């Protein structure tokens, strides 16, 4: 199955009030597998296929950015065999993506502290960065790996401290701080979707989600469909976004 292939069945969604940036917490892979008597790793493989399909759909309907939570800073606490399986899937699908990114005009960026990842995965990420750097404005998928919202904020604060030690005298404002985050240059998500039944954001995009609309669904991530994206966008459109005003 081709990554980001054209989905001829994607339902047409008009541009009015379409979120530019959708974030998703890909939750429920393990429970999906358990319900079927399968190992948790099978759930992660199914979830990876769902990511392919949903990313394609978002691209086709005109969403500019999709950010997904693939592996958190807390996920290292999981059994070593499960962590290894997740990292193996990342390597596999990133390798396939690299073959198609330039051809299909797909940008890809990774959020998180990648310094602790395997040499192979870091090399693949470096290669995607190189391709993304010279592509024009197009759909961009952001994948959060070894990512935590608090960790991202601490890393940004440390980067600012380094600037101050180097002689920076300008006051720190929100714009400058945002430029130090993994998401620098990317608009904040207007819509965050969490499948799987949990109703929390689990240390995800804490700074960026200050005014993000949250949609929760009981659908487990491997079962998540294009219709679920449509429903979340419909819910987003039904809300009045006042940003503290009237």
Q: State pLDDT tens for residues 97-106.
A: 887 887 777 8
Catalytic annotation on 223? Answer: no
Does residue 138 carry a pLDDT above 90? no
Closest Cα to residue 25, out of 233, 179, 224, 176? 224
Catalytic annotation on 230? Answer: no
Active-site pick, 7, 75, 228, 230: 75
Higher pLDDT, 10 or 16: 16
Full-model pTM: 0.90
Between CA 230 and CA 221 the distance in angstroms is: 15
Between CA 223 and CA 158 the distance in angstroms is: 40
Domains of the chain with CATH codes: 21-148+188-212 (3.40.1180.10)
Active-site pick, 27, 104, 182, 188: 27
Between CA 235 and CA 233 the distance in angstroms is: 5
pLDDT for res 97: 83
pLDDT for res 240: 81
């Amino acid at each position: 199955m081709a990554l980001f292939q054209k989905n001829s069945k994607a339902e047409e969604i008009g541009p009015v009030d379409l979120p530019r940036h959708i974030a998703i917490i890909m939750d429920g892979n393990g429970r999906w597998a358990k319900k079927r008597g399968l190992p948790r790793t099978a759930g992660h493989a199914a979830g990876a296929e769902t990511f392919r399909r949903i990313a394609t759909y978002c691209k086709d309907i005109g969403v500019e950015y999709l950010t997904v939570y693939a592996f958190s800073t807390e996920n290292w606490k999981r059994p070593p065999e499960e962590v290894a399986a997740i990292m193996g899937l990342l390597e596999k699908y990133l390798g396939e993506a690299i073959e198609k990114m330039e051809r299909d005009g797909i940008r890809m960026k990774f959020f998180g502290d990648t310094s602790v990842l395997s040499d192979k995965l870091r090399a693949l990420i470096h290669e995607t960065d190189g391709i993304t750097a010279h592509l024009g404005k197009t759909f961009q998928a952001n994948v959060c790996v070894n990512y935590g919202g608090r960790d991202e904020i601490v890393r940004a604060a440390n980067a600012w401290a380094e600037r101050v030690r180097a002689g920076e005298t300008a006051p720190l404002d929100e714009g400058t701080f945002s430029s130090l985050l993994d998401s620098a240059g990317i608009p904040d998500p207007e819509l965050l979707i969490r499948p799987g039944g949990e109703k929390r954001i689990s240390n995800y995009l804490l700074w960026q989600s200050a005014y993000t609309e949250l949609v929760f669904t009981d659908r487990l991530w491997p079962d998540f469909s294009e219709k679920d994206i449509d429903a979340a966008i419909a819910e987003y459109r039904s809300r009045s976004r006042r940003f503290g005003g009237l």
